[in-house]
Amino acid sequence: MNDCLFCKIGNGEIPSYTIYEDEVCKAFLDIEPLTNGHILVIPKKHYINVIDADLDFVTHAFSIIKEDLYPLLQKKLNCQGLTICQNNKYGQEVKHLHFHLIPRYTDDEFKSHTNKDLLIDTKDLFEKITEK
């Protein structure tokens, strides 16, 4: 895609603080991090979201996250955990598949907020999802 920000980062038209790169994907520091070491992992091929992505890419990306990036964050930044996030359509600012790797620290105060008033009772929700 000619005007896609992440395609331009992926092919080197726009510079990034690249942490990992191969022929399939690129991982770089988020310029608006939620915690220290917040990384984005993108495919070099344009996919809008995980629903239209090639399963081979998803498998490759999670292999890199598991074997390369998370251990690197633990070793270099001493993070205690990792939150992996990926938005599809709603909440997706850049319409190019990307995984957020958010290192977690004991006192980072990173929280996911939900309007609890909108939640359906668990039993009712289960029935709704499983009804035929």
Residues in the chain: 132
Distance of CA 95 to the CA centre of its chain: 13
Indicate which residue of 46, 60, 96, 98 is catalytic.
Answer: 98
Is 98 considered catalytic here? Answer: yes
CA distance 96 to 17: 18
Q: Which of 125, 121, 131, 79 is nearest to 102 (CA)?
A: 79
Give me 20's structure tokens: 């990992």
Residues forming the active site? 98
